[in-house]
Each structure stands twice: as structure tokens, then as C-alpha cells.
Amino acid sequence: MLFIIAWLPYGLRMAIGNLLGRLTYVLARERRYITTINIRRCFPELSPSAQHQLVIRTFVENGIGLIETTTSWMRPAAHFQHLLVLSGTEHMDAALAQGRGVLMLGAHYSTLDFTANLLGAVYPFGTTYRPHKNPLFDAFMLRGRLHYSNGVFNHRDIRGAFRHLKQGKILWYAPDQDYGLEQSVFVPFFGRQAATITATTRYAAFNNSPVVLVRHHRLSDKRKYVLEFIPVTPPFPTGDDVADATRINKMIETAIRMDPAQYLWMHKRFKTQPHGKPQSPYILISTPKRKLDAALYEKLTTESTPLPQPNRLQLRSGLQLWSYPGLARGLFASRHPVLQLDSLSKHLRSNGVVTVTVDSLFLMPQRNESAATCHIPRGEPLTAGSGQGLTPERAALFLARIHEAGWHFIRMQADNLLLHNNRLAVLDPLCLQRLNRSESQLRADDLQHMLALLSYTGQQQAQCVDEYLHASHSVDCKSLLALMAGKIQPVP
């Protein structure tokens, strides 16, 4: 099917790519969510409507990009060479003339493989890539990229890439994806801290190779593909990984802003954060679920410490393992406590409530249990008088967010509330029950329990209630005040 599409006329290929992008926007819920989060973080100056339109255009451009990619893998570059517009070739020629190889820095634009196919006919180059999990598709992709490359290197084959540079050739490398904490530094990307790999400096320093940034995008109105070489002026690398990564990210950001919709915003660029998964902005991404046999369970729980709560272990990794009877699978799996813990935690965190973050889910058939590894928010359980340092405004906002998310406490217990740096957190979200938004009595009960736990004075109580009413959008103010009448002093 892709082979047939690759030989269709240009306009028809673009129309199919447009349709494919729009269908992906509708059907790929998780990718749509990731893209929306990225656009919101990177373009806060845009209105919500403009951000939404950029998300849709991103899917359209990447749908077209997929058709362009398969076209480049299945047809000779000579068929499309007249579409290429090169700029800044003097910089590439000067870099090649040094005879030390050239590190060509790119990024994941939607036109990546198509323009690479055209560029390879002018400036042959090698490329690094990350193998696909599907071996058949990986073979298909590798064969396609060999059409325009004079070397394709697994991203782990550092020696092969070094040899390529040593031979005085061009090596394409993209440092704009999140490969985790290992060999990364946190530097700004569109004003947000992002884990940025430091391999760029190692490649450049190996043979003292000159570095050239390449940007490319499609001019839809003229049916042209513009590719520009931009030199990274010496000194680079400087020996300061943070400064070097910051500089490269800034150059890539400038290139992306030429046409933001033609960038691959679908990948989780901000997934890795300094304090782990609780800081990740992609809260609603599905949590991995895997089987845990006896041997792996033994390895996971080695040197663990039992906690006061039943079926909970403190792991040496810093996470806690929470276990529940039964296997979370089958038709009614969503009712299992471990999956309810995961979904409720995500729901609360997406509404601004601090609570546990589920890292992974496990099925343990040998124990007939299911479990979750959890990041526990920092804080100590409330004790008598310990809540005096918490401002009424913060306390009111905490409770209002829980209620506005549609939940309430069965009974607010001090040991299930953590206090840290003038902030409250819920330890176990399964202690909550669904709240009918009009139930003022349940809201009043929660508010009264919280005021008692925090040991607030009359004036603090009044301030807390007043702030709660300001923070809640669905509460019946008159009913709530009537229920609280006589229990607090009136606000002056």
C-alpha cells in the first residue's frame, strides 16, 4: 500500500498525508495528549485556541511527513531533486575542507527522511538511528535509509560513528530527544528544563570535527524543500557540557520556530526530570504493566523494609511497593484496587492535588496479587499542632481541588495527610470516595475535619472557609455557610 502511495502524484500524496494526520489526531489519544502538553509548555504566549490549532497542524504535517518518508524510501532521489533548495552550502564546504569529518546536527522534523534523501545525493553522509522494536519495520526502515546514507549506525555503536568521522565524512546526529538521565544534563528547551544528551560534545571532540546545524522544512505553497546549513562557530565544544547543550538547544529552538508544526512534538521531550516521574508533565500516560515472577519479585524486594501499613514495602530504590489481593486482568480489571490507585492518582495529580505517583504495575500470579511501585510525596503525617504552619489559603486550595476533581474523604485521617513546606498531600488516594458536586454536607464535613486536624483558631477557620468558597466553582455557597454556621467565627 505504501509503495503504491509513493508513486501517486504530489498533490494526491499530500492529500492522503493530510487525511492520515487528521485521523491520527482523532484516534491516537495518547499522542494527542503528549503533543498538547508539549505545545502548551513551549508556546505559552499563544492563546488556547491558537495552541489547539497548532496541535492539529502538527498532526497534519506529520501525517504528510510519513507519506514523504515512505516515498523517500521507495523512490530514487533523482525523481525529486528539483524540489530541493540548498542554503549555506559554503559553510558545509568549508567544514569538509578541514578534513576532520563534519558533525551535522539535525532535529526530528516531519521532513527528515525526505530531505535527507535529497541531501544525500549532494553531500553523502552517515547517520545514527535508534532501532525500532518491530524487527520487520526496522529492516524496512534501515533499507530505506541506506538508499541515501554512506553509513547507518545504531545509536549505541559509538565506535562506528567515530570511525566515520575519522575518515573525514559527514555524520548526522540529532540531540533533541530524551534518552534519560545517563549522560544527560538539564538545560532549557523553549524555556523549560529538558534532559539533553551530551554525546554531541563527545562526537565533536573526538576528531576535533567542525559542527554544522542543518534545518529543513517544506514550503507548501511552492512545493519546495528548503535546507539550510548553519555553522556552530568555534569554540565548540568548550568543555562545559551545560553551556554547550544550552547553545545547541537554542539553535534548534530557533530553527523549529521557522515552522513549529513541522516538528515532531509527539515525543515526550520533557519526560525525564531531576526528581523523577512525579515531575513529568505527562501525567495521564498509561503506566507500564508487567508480570513479576518469583525470582524477579525476590530481586525487587531484596533489602526492603516492611511498613506499618499492611502489604506495603519500602524498597531500596526509594519507591514503595503496594500489594493488593487478586490479579488485575480480565473484563472487570479496572475495578481492581491497583488499577484504581493508578487512575485516581493520575486524576488527582492532573487537577493539582499532590499524591502518590505510580511508577509501574505488576501482576504476580504465584502470589495471586497485583502491585504498584509508588513514588511517595515528601512530607510528614500531620500531628497535633503541626498544621499551624500551613496557611489557610493553602489548606483551602488543597481541599477545593479534591472536591472540584469530584472526590471527598470518607473520614479525613491525620496519617493520610502529609505536610511539607506549607503544602498538603494525600498519601493514599483510595481513601477518597466520589462526590456529587451538589453535596454541600460532604464538603462541610471535610472542611470541618480539616480545620480540626490543623488546629486552626477561629480567625484562621474563617479565613480558610472564605478561601475555600473563592477556590470552589461548583459549591452552593449559601448551603455550605449554613452548614458551617455556629462552628466558626464570621469573616470580618
pLDDT in tens, 200-257: 999 999 999 999 999 999 997 778 999 999 999 999 999 999 999 999 999 999 999 9
State the number of CA atoms in the 13 A half-sphere of 127 facing the CB: 24
Within 13 Å, how many C-alpha atoms sit on residue 455's CB side? Answer: 9
What pLDDT is stored for residue 492 in this prediction?
A: 45
HEC string of the chain?
CHHHHHCCCHHHHHHHHHHHHHHHHHHCHHHHHHHHHHHHHHCCCCCHHHHHHHHHHHHHHHHHHHHHHHHHHHCCHHHCHHHEEEECHHHHHHHHHCCCCEEEECCCECCHHHHHHHHHCCCCEEEEECCCCCHHHHHHHHHHHHCCEEEEEECCCHHHHHHHHHCCCEEEECCCCCCCCCCEEEEEECCEEEEEECHHHHHHHHCCCCEEEEEEEEECCCCEEEEEEEECCCCCCCCCHHHHHHHHHHHHHHHHCCCHHHECCCCCCCCCCCCCHHHCCCCCCCCCEEECCHHHHHHHCCCCEECCCCCEEECCCCCEEEEEECCCCCCCHHHCHHHHHHHHHHHHHHCCCCECEEEEEEEEHHHCEEEEEEECCCCEECCCCHHHHCCHHHHHHHHHHHHHCCEEECCCCHHHEEECCCCEEECCHHHEEECCCCCHHHHHHHHHHHHHHCCCCHHHHHHHHHHHHHHCCCCCHHHHHHHHCCCCCCCC
> Could you identify the residue written with the cell 494525600?
426
Beta bridge partners of 228: 87, 215
**Helices 199-206, 241-256: inter-axial angle, 10-degree rounding:** 100
The three grid cell numbers given for residue 314, joined into one nine-digit string: 519500602
237: preceding bond cis by omega (within 30 degrees)? yes
Q: Which residues of the chain have pLDDT under 70?
A: 384, 437-438, 486-492
Q: What is the pLDDT of residues 352-380, one digit of tens each?
A: 999 999 999 999 999 999 999 999 999 99
| Cell numbers 518469583: residue | 294
Amino acid at 281: P
Tell me the C-alpha distance between 341 and 431, whole Å: 10
User: How many CA atoms, within 13 angstroms, populate the side-chain half-sphere of residue 65?
Assistant: 24
What was the pLDDT predicted at 474? 75
Are residues 185 and 242 in contact, defined by beta-carbon separation less than 8 angstroms? yes
Give residue 489's pLDDT: 54
pTM, 2 dp: 0.91
Q: How far apart are the first and last CA of the chain?
A: 73
In contact, 320 and 390? CB cutoff 8 Å: no
> For position 260, what pLDDT does the model report?
97
